[in-house]
């Protein structure tokens, strides 16, 4: 079989047998296509150690440069494809021949408490758009939702009375998230002001002259959420490069700094592996500062 046909079978395998999300399949599709475009192989048997090694050099020298973690994602997708071929008894390079390079500690951007307050306070006003933006920002910080999760929410999904609701995250896993009182009030104010009948919790601005719209027409997009967050960050005078995911990082950091245990934070973020959650610990261990203050250079203070 040709690489092209096996590649198509593999994507179908991810969708049906592995039940991967649409986004995951899109990523694998993009990463593997880059390899096939570079290697120009027609047969799996042509994938060799030399081909992969030269491909790694290619990834590392792309302009503009790819982050190390992004390069690793490309290799992980290739390795998983080779594992799939091995299960089908297709002769090719074995997956264990591809070793992942060392990736440095991930840098986490988050907002300090004062910056969070400035950001949330910057969304004010009584128009539908103002109320929507306020509710959106409050919800992101209150729940730590991923932007894709936020955009997929429907009005009926959120229980304002209980102040909690279930959300379907990565890997189709369901978790419960909780609303702070400010987030609950902001959502109530926004929903009560809505005049459209769209099912989406967060909708784009509705234009009265448009009468033949479909339900899906009004649902907000991740790109719109990104623009909203950046707009209010600028309005609040925050010079950091802020994204919707920054509020997710800020949510986790706030919990850990205030004494939450890491297992609980893992559950609230929807992380499958606790090592993913542990990226926050190096910025939240305030006890280290006190130890440094107490024990460092004591002679110089005597």
Catalytic residues, by residue number, are 146, 170, 245, 248, 271, 280
238, 118 in Cβ contact below 8 A? yes
- Quickly list DSSP for 50-101: HHHHHHHHHHHT-SSPPPHHHHHHHHHHHHHHHHHHHHTT--S--GGG-PPP
Gap between the Cα atoms of 37 and 15, Å rounded: 23
Instruction: State CA 269 to chain mean position distance.
Output: 10
Cis check for the bond before 82: say yes or no (omega within 30 of 0).
no
Pull the structure tokens for residue 83: 């594992």
Residue 119: strand, helix, or coil? helix
117, 256 in Cβ contact below 8 A? no
Residues in the chain, overall count: 302
Gap between the Cα atoms of 57 and 202, Å rounded: 44
What letters, b where the CB count within 10 A reaches 16 and e where it falls short, cover 206-222? eeeeeeeeeeeebbbee
């Amino acid at each position: 079989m040709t690489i092209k046909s096996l590649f198509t079978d593999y994507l179908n395998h991810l969708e049906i047998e592995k039940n991967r999300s649409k986004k995951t399949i899109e990523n694998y599709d993009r990463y593997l296509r880059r390899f096939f475009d570079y290697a120009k192989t027609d047969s799996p048997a042509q994938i060799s150690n030399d081909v992969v090694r030269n491909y790694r050099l290619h990834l590392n020298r792309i302009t503009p440069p790819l982050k190390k973690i992004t390069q690793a994602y490309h290799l992980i997708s290739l390795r998983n494809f080779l594992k799939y071929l091995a299960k089908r008894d297709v002769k090719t390079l074995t997956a264990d021949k591809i070793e992942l390079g060392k990736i440095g500690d991930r840098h986490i951007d988050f907002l300090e408490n004062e910056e969070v307050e400035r950001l949330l306070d910057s969304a004010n006003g009584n128009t539908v758009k103002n109320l929507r933006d306020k509710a959106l920002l409050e919800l992101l910080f209150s729940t730590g939702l991923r932007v894709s999760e936020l955009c997929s929410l429907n009005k009926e999904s959120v229980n304002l009375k209980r102040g909690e609701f279930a959300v379907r995250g990565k890997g189709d896993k369901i978790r419960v998230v909780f609303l702070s009182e400010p987030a609950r009030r902001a959502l109530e104010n926004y929903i009560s002001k809505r005049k459209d009948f769209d099912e989406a919790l967060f909708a784009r601005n509705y234009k009265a002259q448009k009468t033949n719209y479909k339900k899906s027409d009004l649902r907000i997009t991740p790109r719109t959420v990104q623009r909203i967050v950046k707009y209010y960050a600028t309005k609040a005078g925050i010079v950091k490069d802020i994204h919707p995911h920054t509020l997710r990082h800020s949510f986790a950091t706030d919990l850990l700094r205030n004494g939450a245990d890491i297992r609980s934070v893992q559950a609230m973020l929807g992380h499958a592996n606790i090592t993913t959650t542990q990226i926050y610990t190096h910025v939240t261990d305030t006890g280290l500062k006190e130890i440094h203050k107490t024990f460092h250079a004591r002679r110089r203070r005597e």
